[in-house]
Amino acid sequence: MKRLFLNFETLPDIQGARALYDLPSTLSDKDTGKVLFHHHIQQEGRDARFLSPWQSRLAMLSMLSIHDEEVKLTSFQKEACDEKQLLETISRQLSEHDMTFCWDEGRGINSLLHVRSMILGVQLPDRHVRTVERRMRIQPGSVTLGTIAMRFGISASPMPGDELTWKQVQSDGESSLARRCEINLIASALLGLKHLHTTAEIDDDLHATLQKRCEQL
């Protein structure tokens, strides 16, 4: 069995926003972000927590790879590799694993990956990321990871949306998102494993072993 769970953090695509809205290059990142979120609210409404795929970029990636009984967590930050390298990593991992899962939260993971790959010239395999919500018969975005995780006694960090995340990064830097990305990856993996156990895709012993190893990360 080769399963992969992904989690990621997105931030406004500031460079893209300057081109999209014909903004001067001298406009600060902070002010460019304000323009971007203004357009987003005008188009999608104030309740839309996440930017559209053409307005955002991948800033951080965490992966949990399961090969039989082995569990490995790996994280990548923008300081170590740029967005194109993050997408190339995802592309390789999609090819190497039987199935890939992600808690979507209404972010549109497959649209985001395809749009960003088209912009940056990255080739993706003809595979899609399966959302944990849909596997659980839940509409992505209709309930938060934190709510579902709490029901199962699993720890998760709040996902406040792109605008509040952007404000956090402005004051604390992108590295401040790293632990949240990993905590929510582990939470989504634990939920995914519960689902795989419920549908008899993994047996009792394997589920117990993988659950314990994820909880120890």
Residue ranges of domains in the chain: 2-215
Helices (H), the chain: 14-20, 29-44, 83-96, 109-120, 132-135, 145-151, 162-172, 178-198, 204-215
Q: How far apart are CA 22 and CA 195, in angstroms?
A: 46
pLDDT of residue 78: 63
Rounded to 5 degrees, φ, ψ at 15 are -60, -45
Pairwise CA distance, residues 20 & 29, whole Å: 14
Q: Are strands 130-131 and 99-102 parallel, antiparallel or unpaired?
A: parallel
Please state which architecture CATH assigns to domain 2-215.
2-Layer Sandwich (3.30)
Q: What is the pTM of this model?
A: 0.93
* Whole-angstrom distance, CA of residue 100 vs CA of residue 135: 12
Contact 127, 94 (CB under 8 A): yes
pLDDT of the chain, 217 residues: tens digit per residue: 899 999 999 999 999 999 999 999 999 999 999 999 999 999 888 778 999 989 999 999 999 999 999 999 999 876 667 999 999 999 999 999 999 999 999 999 999 999 999 999 999 998 899 999 999 999 999 999 999 999 999 999 999 899 999 999 989 988 889 999 999 999 999 999 999 999 999 999 999 999 999 999 9
Task: Tell me if 66 sits within 8 A of 96, measured CB to CB.
Answer: no
SS3 6: strand
Residues 6+ apart with CB under 8 A from 98: 1, 2, 3
pLDDT at 80: 62
Distance CA 64, CA 21 (A): 37
Residue type, 31: D
